[in-house]
């Protein structure tokens, strides 16, 4: 089934355009920050822009579009938002701990030393 | 009128997401260490997922939703396995 963009009212179209542009713009800002920040521990913050509010904006725009064009609530895109929100912190924490482990293993001077009473 | 507004916004958003994917590819190819490359791969997956969702809005088909859901699942599995590999030196102990 194909939903047509001409079926929706103009205020919903403007709202959808705003959400899509905000989501894509935040994804672009996150990518630019990922390119420009100097160290890995700063760089790992930048892509969370695109995984939190970038995904959120495009998911909300998609829900609005399909709901307005189909004349009923179509909200299965919420699945993507929930899934990305749950899995991204797990991945990034694993990756940051792996990077910290590698830096400590090489005795890098830029990372704090291991504290035995915090982590074994 | 509403179709013009939506298609203009979708075109701009696809352009921005494509530029983001290109920037992420640069970091993934020239990243100084392995964790930068894995982070770049994860960001590339997320941007590709967002690009497919904008394709879904632009064409009005719900097929792209399933594709982006599969990409999100594969992104989690791939990045977790690669981070585990960096941590331990092997994926399954």
pLDDT tier for residue A118 given thresholds of 50, 70 and 90 = low
Distance CA B16, CA B34 (A): 26
pLDDT tier for residue A119 given thresholds of 50, 70 and 90 = low
> Are A108 and A100 spatial neighbours (Cβ–Cβ below 8 Å)?
no
pLDDT digit string (tens) for A6-53?
A: 778 888 889 999 999 999 999 999 999 999 988 888 888 998 988 999
* HEC profile of A17-62: HHHHHHHHHHHHHHHHHHHHCCCHHHHCCCCHHHHHHHHHHHHHHH
Q: Which helix (H) or strand (E) holds A37?
A: none
Both tokens assigned to A110: 């830029």
Distance CA A73, CA B84 (A): 40
What are phi and psi for residue A9, nearest 5 degrees?
-70, 165
> Are B49 and B72 spatial neighbours (Cβ–Cβ below 8 Å)?
yes
Full pLDDT tens readout for chain B, 93 residues: 888 888 899 999 999 999 999 999 998 898 788 889 999 999 999 999 999 999 998 888 888 889 999 998 999 999 999 888 888 877 666
Contact A5 B60 (CB under 8 A): yes
What's the gap in Å between the CA of B38 and the closest CA on chain A?
A: 8
Both tokens assigned to B86: 């960096």
- What's the pTM value of the predicted model, to 2 decimals? 0.88
What's the gap in Å between the CA of A79 and the closest CA on chain B?
A: 8
- A116 pLDDT more than 70: no
pLDDT at B14: 93
Q: What is the ipTM of this complex?
A: 0.89
Every domain of chain B and the residues it spans: 2-88
Contact A23 B72 (CB under 8 A): no
Contacts of A87 (CB under 8 A, 6+ apart): B72, B75, B76
Contact B5 A30 (CB under 8 A): no
> Are B40 and B27 spatial neighbours (Cβ–Cβ below 8 Å)?
yes
């Amino acid at each position: 089934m194909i939903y047509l963009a001409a079926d929706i009212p103009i205020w919903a179209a403007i709202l959808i355009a705003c959400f899509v542009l905000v989501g894509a713009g935040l994804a672009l800002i996150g990518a630019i920050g990922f390119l420009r920040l100097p160290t890995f521990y700063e760089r790992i913050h930048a892509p969370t822009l695109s995984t939190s509010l970038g995904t959120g904006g495009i998911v909300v725009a998609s829900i609005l579009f399909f709901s307005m064009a189909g004349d009923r609530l179509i909200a299965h895109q919420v699945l993507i938002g929930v899934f990305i929100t749950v899995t991204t912190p797990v991945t990034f924490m694993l990756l940051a701990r792996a990077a910290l482990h590698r830096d400590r293993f090489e005795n890098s001077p830029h990372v704090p030393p291991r504290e035995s009473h915090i982590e074994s | 009128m509403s179709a013009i507004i939506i298609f203009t916004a979708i075109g701009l958003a696809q352009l921005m997401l494509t530029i983001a994917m290109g920037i992420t590819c640069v970091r993934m190819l020239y990243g100084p260490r392995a964790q930068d490359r894995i982070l770049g791969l994860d960001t590339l997956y997320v941007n590709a997922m967002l690009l497919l969702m904008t394709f879904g809005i632009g064409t009005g088909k719900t097929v792209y939703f399933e594709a982006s859901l599969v990409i999100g699942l594969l992104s989690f599995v791939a990045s977790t396995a690669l981070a585990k590999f960096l941590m331990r030196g092997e994926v399954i102990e």
